[in-house]
Chains A and B, each alone.
Chain A
Amino acid sequence: MNFVDYLFENVPNLYKECILSRDGTLTYGDLIERVDALAGDLAIKLGQGNECLLLAENTPFFIIVYLAVIKSGNTALLVETRIADDQLATIFRECHIRCAFVQKKYLAKIPDTCTIFTEDNLPTPSPSKTIEFSSVKDDDVAVVIFTSGSTGTKKGVMLTHRNLCANTGSIVQYLGLTKEDRICATLPFFYCYGASLLHTHLRVGGSIVLSNNIFLAGALRDINTYACTGFAGVPSTYQILVNKTPFLKEPLPTLRLMQQAGGQLPNKYIRQIAEAFPEKHFFVMYGATEATARLSYLSSGEIHTRLGSIGKGIPGVTLEVIDEKGNPVKPGETGEIVASGANIMKGYYGDPEGTQSVIRNGKLFTGDLATVDEDGYIFIIGRAKNIIKSGGYRISPNEIEEFICSLDGVAGCVVLGLPDEIMGEAIVAVIQPGNTPETISKEEIHQHCTKHLPSYKVPTAIHFVKEFPLNASDKVDKQAITASLLSSKQKKEEGG
């Protein structure tokens, strides 16, 4: 079944408000009409099975194009709006992009070698035209989401119509979403978690508020203005709300449930939020782009008794923690989280080897290390994948390390993510200067970084060391560096 047909199966009525924002409202009727018009146009002009790049913020333009591309039997390639130019160039080189749909403000990023559409030149609906769409196979790729791999290059996660339907249905079920639900969406739709908000609320005939604010506190206003029932955030979302806004004191009377995923929110915040809103549901969840979005959840009733756990597998997903021999670990032992279900991706775009390294015997090896308790609740204790999660972005340290190492006067560099009250993790660079330390200063390194890296990849702190500590296998011991940075930070805080 085409994923878009699945999404629109439960439309309550065509006049119901579907997408709301400061710029206006789209009813289900408006949205379906515009999606069908564009999908029809694409089916005629492109046919099926082509790749269409989409680069936009959360706007009606994004939603219409995204759904139309999928509905027409083509594949939507989603990239983040802050993608570095060289990474976008690689995607254009390695994919077969027939056309690009780009929000005007990002036009300068796109090479003029392909057909480009912006919000100004989308085809308009013509009422007389009815188009018969050819059917898609469940295994056809509907969406490719480009996510940061541990090597720094973007990996294209191929999601099929089946993957998307399965994960959407499962999330709707465990969250108990209905047509009365209205989500305040601050997370970008080009990110699997953001996309899941769009999918699930369309599926139940609910509504989506595009909350694009300069400051997250604006989302609190939007929740009240639009009477939202749901909110979703990554760790930094909640950390900013708790630390920088009156969030915990707001009554938010319409809000029924909050979702948290995209990394581990420190327990103290989970506790604070759960205590501030005892009557609201707070779901802690875990997932991966490779699993369409969601893999596990912990419901609000279990927050206090299983604090710090990611819960158990969502409906339709088998989640196990296994040891090196492939056997489930005993309570207290450590293993890798492995998942199976209809939501596991088809593979990485153009990378069969990469796919084989994470999907074996139909199971997704997440690379996340965890333990289980006596009742089977999973607790993550470390990420095998070398990824920093900062401000909602997934960042590969390798890429930043390589860049800094390429500078004159730098002998070695290690980039780490340290716990940060606002960003979730802050990017810290530890640098071993060349023979003459004076040749490059911290300020110069910082300037080079701001000039050449996207802003969210620029280290917030730079430290110089004479020698890196090494571990047993003579590799730079990142854990030892992290521990020493954390202890000196603690001493500083205690002293000051």
Chain B
Amino acid sequence: MASFEEQTIKNIFCEVLCIPAEEITDTLAYNSCVQWDSLKHLQIVAMIEEKFEIEIDMDDIIAMENYGKVKEILHKYLT
């Protein structure tokens, strides 16, 4: 298991959603971000799991509805 590193998470978001890093703030949310759909979400989760060598619980995958929440949840796994 790797340690928590925000830049890695941000890079995954940039790559999957194709948006610049400065747009990725804690309030970036599934509900309002046009690029972030359920298929992209699966891709984000798969890449995070691979990069950090973790397996995220289903309830957490559902709860990761904004970037701030994603970081908060990943802290739980990586610290």
Q: Which residues of A come within 8 Å of B, CB atoms? A: 81-82, 105-106, 213-218, 221, 240, 244-246, 391, 422-423, 450-451, 455-456
| A178 to B32 CA separation, bound complex (whole angstroms) | 36
Please name all residues of chain B whose beta carbon is closer than 8 Å to the beta carbon of A455 when the two chains form the complex: 18, 35, 37, 39-40
Establish whether residues B62 and A214, one from each chain, have CB atoms under 8 Å apart when the complex forms.
Answer: yes
Establish whether residues A213 and B38, one from each chain, have CB atoms under 8 Å apart when the complex forms.
Answer: yes
| A216 to B38 CA separation, bound complex (whole angstroms) | 8
**Most B C-beta atoms less than 10 A away, residue of A82, A105, A215, A451:** A215
CB within 8 Å for A217 and B37 given contacts A450-B18, A451-B18: no
Besides A215-B58, A244-B42, 17 new A-B residue pairs in contact (Cβ under 8 A), listed by A number:
A81-B34, A82-B34, A105-B31, A105-B34, A106-B34, A213-B38, A214-B30, A214-B41, A215-B42, A215-B45, A217-B58, A217-B61, A218-B62, A245-B58, A422-B42, A455-B35, A455-B37
Establish whether residues A221 and B62, one from each chain, have CB atoms under 8 Å apart when the complex forms.
Answer: yes
| A105 to B18 CA separation, bound complex (whole angstroms) | 18
Please name all residues of chain B whose beta carbon is closer than 8 Å to the beta carbon of A244 when the two chains form the complex: 42
| A391 to B61 CA separation, bound complex (whole angstroms) | 19
Please name all residues of chain B whose beta carbon is closer than 8 Å to the beta carbon of A451 when the two chains form the complex: 18
Establish whether residues B58 and A246, one from each chain, have CB atoms under 8 Å apart when the complex forms.
Answer: yes
B15 CB to closest chain A CB (Å) equals 8
A486 CB to closest chain B CB (Å) equals 22
Establish whether residues B39 and A391, one from each chain, have CB atoms under 8 Å apart when the complex forms.
Answer: yes
Establish whether residues A214 and B58, one from each chain, have CB atoms under 8 Å apart when the complex forms.
Answer: no
Please name all residues of chain A whose beta carbon is closer than 8 Å to the beta carbon of B30 when the two chains form the complex: 214
Q: How many A-B residue pairs have CB under 8 A?
A: 44
CB within 8 Å for A213 and B18 given contacts A244-B42, A391-B39: no
Establish whether residues A217 and B32, one from each chain, have CB atoms under 8 Å apart when the complex forms.
Answer: no
Within 8 A of A (CB), among B11-36: 18, 30-32, 34-35
Establish whether residues A214 and B39, one from each chain, have CB atoms under 8 Å apart when the complex forms.
Answer: no
Is B47's beta carbon under 8 Å from chain A?
no
Among residues of A, the one whose C-beta sits closest to the C-beta of B16 is A455
17 contacts between A and B (CB under 8 A): A82-B34, A105-B32, A213-B38, A214-B64, A215-B45, A215-B58, A215-B61, A215-B62, A217-B61, A218-B62, A245-B58, A391-B39, A422-B42, A451-B18, A455-B18, A455-B40, A456-B39
Please name all residues of chain B whose beta carbon is closer than 8 Å to the beta carbon of A218 when the two chains form the complex: 62
Please name all residues of chain A whose beta carbon is closer than 8 Å to the beta carbon of B41 when the two chains form the complex: 214-215
Please name all residues of chain B whose beta carbon is closer than 8 Å to the beta carbon of A82 when the two chains form the complex: 34, 37
B55 CB to closest chain A CB (Å) equals 11
Q: Which residues of B come within 8 Å of A, CB atoms? A: 18, 30-32, 34-35, 37-42, 45, 58, 61-62, 64-65
A118 CB to closest chain B CB (Å) equals 14
**Most A C-beta atoms less than 10 A away, residue of B40, B41, B62:** B62
| A245 to B45 CA separation, bound complex (whole angstroms) | 13
A97 CB to closest chain B CB (Å) equals 21
| A450 to B32 CA separation, bound complex (whole angstroms) | 20
Please name all residues of chain B whose beta carbon is closer than 8 Å to the beta carbon of A245 when the two chains form the complex: 58
Q: Which 5 A-B pairs have the closest CB atoms?
A: A215-B61, A217-B58, A214-B30, A450-B18, A391-B39
Please name all residues of chain A whose beta carbon is closer than 8 Å to the beta carbon of B39 when the two chains form the complex: 391, 423, 455-456
Please name all residues of chain B whose beta carbon is closer than 8 Å to the beta carbon of A246 when the two chains form the complex: 58
Establish whether residues B35 and A240, one from each chain, have CB atoms under 8 Å apart when the complex forms.
Answer: no
A82 CB to closest chain B CB (Å) equals 7
| A214 to B18 CA separation, bound complex (whole angstroms) | 18
Establish whether residues A215 and B38, one from each chain, have CB atoms under 8 Å apart when the complex forms.
Answer: yes
Please name all residues of chain B whose beta carbon is closer than 8 Å to the beta carbon of A106 when the two chains form the complex: 34
| A50 to B67 CA separation, bound complex (whole angstroms) | 42
| A216 to B62 CA separation, bound complex (whole angstroms) | 8
Among residues of A, the one whose C-beta sits closest to the C-beta of B33 is A105
Establish whether residues B42 and A240, one from each chain, have CB atoms under 8 Å apart when the complex forms.
Answer: yes
B38 CB to closest chain A CB (Å) equals 6
Please name all residues of chain B whose beta carbon is closer than 8 Å to the beta carbon of A422 when the two chains form the complex: 42
| A246 to B57 CA separation, bound complex (whole angstroms) | 11
| A423 to B32 CA separation, bound complex (whole angstroms) | 24
**Most A C-beta atoms less than 10 A away, residue of B18, B31, B32, B38:** B38
Task: From the candidates A105, A217, A240, name the one contacting B62 in the complex (CB within 8 A).
Answer: A217
Please name all residues of chain B whose beta carbon is closer than 8 Å to the beta carbon of A217 when the two chains form the complex: 58, 61-62
| A143 to B17 CA separation, bound complex (whole angstroms) | 32
| A82 to B34 CA separation, bound complex (whole angstroms) | 8
| A456 to B17 CA separation, bound complex (whole angstroms) | 11
Establish whether residues B38 and A214, one from each chain, have CB atoms under 8 Å apart when the complex forms.
Answer: yes
Please name all residues of chain A whose beta carbon is closer than 8 Å to the beta carbon of B18 when the two chains form the complex: 450-451, 455
Among residues of B, the one whose C-beta sits closest to the C-beta of A451 is B18
| A178 to B34 CA separation, bound complex (whole angstroms) | 36
Among residues of A, the one whose C-beta sits closest to the C-beta of B41 is A214
| A218 to B42 CA separation, bound complex (whole angstroms) | 13
| A244 to B58 CA separation, bound complex (whole angstroms) | 8
Please name all residues of chain B whose beta carbon is closer than 8 Å to the beta carbon of A423 when the two chains form the complex: 39
A462 CB to closest chain B CB (Å) equals 15
| A106 to B33 CA separation, bound complex (whole angstroms) | 10
Among residues of B, the one whose C-beta sits closest to the C-beta of A218 is B62
B19 CB to closest chain A CB (Å) equals 11
Please name all residues of chain B whose beta carbon is closer than 8 Å to the beta carbon of A216 when the two chains form the complex: 38
